[in-house]
Amino acid sequence: MRLRLTDIRYYPIVIKILVSSCLLGAPVRHDARDKMCDHAVLRRWIEEGRVVSVCPEMLGGLGTPRPPAEIVNDGSRRVITRDGADVTHAFESGARAAADQGYADNVRIAILKSGSPSCGSSFIYDGTFSKTAIPGEGITAALLRGQGIVVFSEEELDAAEEYVAALESSGR
Ligand code: SF4
């Protein structure tokens, strides 16, 4: 039987979005608290079933509460806690697990918590635990970008919404 053009149905592409769990109200931060983000765009994405929640540090086996950690600013990308413990392996393992989750859900973009040694996308802290911010990205943000996922922070939700709309209208 030949297929007619009218038999073909086109379904709109729905872009899935990876989001830091703490922004969604999960108490997964090092201090066992959340960083709930009540932005209208995020609320709508949740209602639309687009959001995939991930916390790379929990996925890496670090529980709550846990000592705060920062990336050492010497080019090594080592992650250390305030007590001096090297937790690089857990951060890298959590980043890979977050990326695997994104791949499984065919995620194209991510909204990640700014400033975090895992999720930070434009700045992080300098490894001295003195609240000194420097340009840079966390371990997970860097891995996701390397895999072609576009990363925004919770402060860029309007720009992220425009990006999603452009992707969907172009059918890419
Ligand atoms: Fe939030 Fe990311 Fe830190 Fe988890 S690793 S608490 S998702 S900023």
Cβ count near 77 (within 10 Å): 15
Give the containing element (helix H, strand E) for 91: helix 88-104
How far, in Å, from the CA of 159 to the mean position of ligand 1? 21
Residue 3 lies in a domain: no
Of the residues 18, 19, 28, which should be mutated to test ligand 1's pocket, given the most ligand atoms within 8 Å of the CB? Answer: 28
Q: How many domains, in total, are found in the chain?
A: 1
Strand, helix or coil for residue 81 = strand
Summarize the confidence of residues 89-104 as an average pLDDT: 98
Residue 56 lies in a domain: yes
Residue closest by Cα to atom 1 of ligand 1: 22
**What percent of the chain lies above the pLDDT cut of 90?**
89
Q: What is the dihedral of CA 63, 143, 104, 21, to 10 degrees?
A: 40
The pLDDT assigned to 9 comes to 63
The pLDDT assigned to 111 comes to 98
Alpha-carbon Rg of the chain, whole angstroms?
18
How far, in Å, from the CA of 117 to the mean position of ligand 1? 8
Atom of ligand 1 nearest to the CA of 57: 5
Residue 47 lies in a domain: yes
Residues near 82 by Cβ (< 8 Å), separated by ≥ 6?
A: 67, 68, 69, 70, 129
Residue 171 lies in a domain: no
Residue 37 lies in a domain: yes
Cβ count near 147 (within 10 Å): 11
Residue 5 lies in a domain: no
Q: What is the pLDDT of residues 49-72, one digit of tens each?
A: 999 999 999 999 999 999 999 999
Residue 4 lies in a domain: no
**Full residue range of the structural domain in which residue 104 is found:** 13-166
- Please give the mean pLDDT across all residues of the chain: 94
- Asked whether the predicted pLDDT for residue 38 surpasses 90, the reply is yes
pTM: 0.93
